[in-house]
Structure 1
Amino acid sequence: MAESEEDASTIRLVAERLMKAHPQVDVDVVRGSVQTAFEELRYARVRTYLPVLMERRARDLLPAEGPAEFDG
């Protein structure tokens, strides 16, 4: 299914926000996580919160920042 102009704009805006928030992450990785988030949510009937949900999901898909700490 082709993306509408509105969907393409939403994907672009979410990717730009995440690239600013996570400059250490490769641009292609950010774009891929946003695209994956969109694919998972593209059939949502209520689209009002789609950008927020996409951003949250894409952020979850990004690699962790720095090494994980162990509280052993």
Structure 2
Amino acid sequence: MTADPEDAVTIRAVAERLMKAHPQVDAGLVHSSVQTAYEELRYARVRTYLPVLMERRAQDLLPPDA
């Protein structure tokens, strides 16, 4: 599913933060985790906390040693 432009910026920012925090993890895996997190949260009514919730969920989806 394609994100709207504002959400696309959020997705990119979250992925960049996670890649900096976990340089040993494949970038593709990080992007897929962030995309999965976005898909799970995309219909949230309150959008204020979407970035932090996406980051936490994506972190949970990454391998435990990440």
Q: TM-score scaled by structure 2?
A: 0.95
In 2, Cα distance between the equivalents of 1:3 and 1:58? 16
Write the letter of the residue equivalent to 1:4. D
**Which structure has greater helix proportion?**
2
Q: Aligned runs of 1:1-72 on 2, under 5 Å?
A: 2-65=2-65
Q: Comparing both chains, which one has the higher relative contact order based on Cα–Cα distances under 8 Å and sequence gaps of 6 or more?
A: 2
Point out where structure 1 has 5 or more consecutive residues left out of the alignment. Answer: 67-72
Identity %: 76
Q: Which has the larger radius of gyration?
A: 1
Tell me the matched-pair count. 66
CA RMSD of aligned residues (A): 1.2
In 2, Cα distance between the equivalents of 1:35 and 1:2? 10
Point out where structure 2 has 5 or more consecutive residues left out of the alignment. Answer: none
- 1:20-47 deviation line (CA, Å, top 9, x unaligned): 0000000000000000000000000000
**Runs of 4 or more above 6 Å deviation:** none
